[in-house]
Amino acid sequence: MQLYNRVDKKVLKERLAKLDEEFTTISFYKYHKIHQPEQFRDELYRAWFAMGVFGRIYIAYEGINAQLALPTRNLEVFNAYLDTFTMFKGMRRNFAVEDGKSFFKLKIQVRDKIVADGIDDPTFDAGNCGVHLDAKRWNELMDHPEVTLVDFRNHYESEVGHFTNAILPDVDTFREQLPKVAEELQDKKDKPILMYCTGGIRCEKASAYMKHHGFNEVYQLEGGIIKYARDCKEKGIEPKFIGKNFVFDERLHETITDDVIAHCHQCGEPADTHINCANEACHLLFIQCEKCAEKYEKCCTPACQEIIHLPLETQKELRKGKKNKQMIFKKGRAEHLINHL
């Protein structure tokens, strides 16, 4: 059996769009020693492919980090399969606030770490994490006058949604954020620190990192924003998170409240819709309002707009030899985007 996808992503997206079926989106992680990650990866691929699972899953010696979607009709079978592994028994599974066709293929990769953290300290214990708080207790502690609330996500995530009064580090990566936050909060080592992220996995490490660096009272939001939003909805708790929760799949966000707190990166009008530039040689991730989306045909600049109208073969030639990695608008520092305003 082929253990990876070879079909073009456009074809896969078209297939997914035609499927008249309900999907459930789930995310979970587990820090657990996996001695043969390659073998474990192949085993999961075979089983999940047969269940119709799509998603992005990372496996490493330290554990697993999974974001996936599957036909809802197979959910019971999927959960039963997970429970055949000792490491997954009792593990929290975060169910999306807004379901949909969030992934179009199954991708399982073996990596050095399930979250790139830049930590190279043999004395660091990722298991010595902070105290987990549910939605009710989280809201209560947020109002404490001595609490410092930290968003452990990247700038483009917090730009469209965050908790009120949270510190929002202007960083591109988690590995950059860890030492930055620890240094900036040096005078608060004996004060309560509350931290949150999308689904909890980054805070699991971040809280342990902060404790490793002498912070004595560290708390983390259990299950991250995803579980918090669902619990608030189901238990009638007033959410203190405003705006959208950025997610790393085809949806790009889940709406937590109707507040629009961000602005179009092209005209400055209120907007919070992330898109990737339609020019595949650019693929910049940025926020664009509906008017600019129509004006620039979902491109970030007039130059990119011109390129999408060139013959496909010419576009391919322009892309040849270039690495099409994810680029992100950096709060006014993407020169090729702001120069045309």
Q: Which residues are catalytic?
A: 197
Distance CA 104, CA 9 (A): 8
Contact (Cβ atoms closer than 8 angstroms) between residue 55 and residue 21: no
Sign of the four-CA dihedral 40, 326, 259, 176 = positive
Residue 158 sits at the vertex; the CA angle it makes with 157 and 162, to the nearest 5 degrees, is 130
Distance CA 283, CA 304 (A): 10
Helices (H), ranges, the chain: 9-18, 37-50, 75-82, 135-142, 155-158, 174-184, 201-212, 224-235, 290-295, 302-307, 312-319, 335-338
Distance CA 47, CA 68 (A): 14
DSSP-derived 3-state class of residue 241: strand
* E strand or H helix at 131: strand 131-133
Residue for token pair 């509906």? 290
Contact (Cβ atoms closer than 8 angstroms) between residue 116 and residue 173: yes
Residue 235 sits at the vertex; the CA angle it makes with 232 and 237, to the nearest 5 degrees, is 45
Q: Which residues pair with 286 in a beta bridge?
A: 275
Query: For residue 297, how many C-alpha atoms fall within 13 Å in the half-sphere facing its CB?
Result: 10
The token duo for 137 is: 């207790």
The token duo for 96 is: 């999306």
> What is the distance of C-alpha 99 from the center of its chain?
15
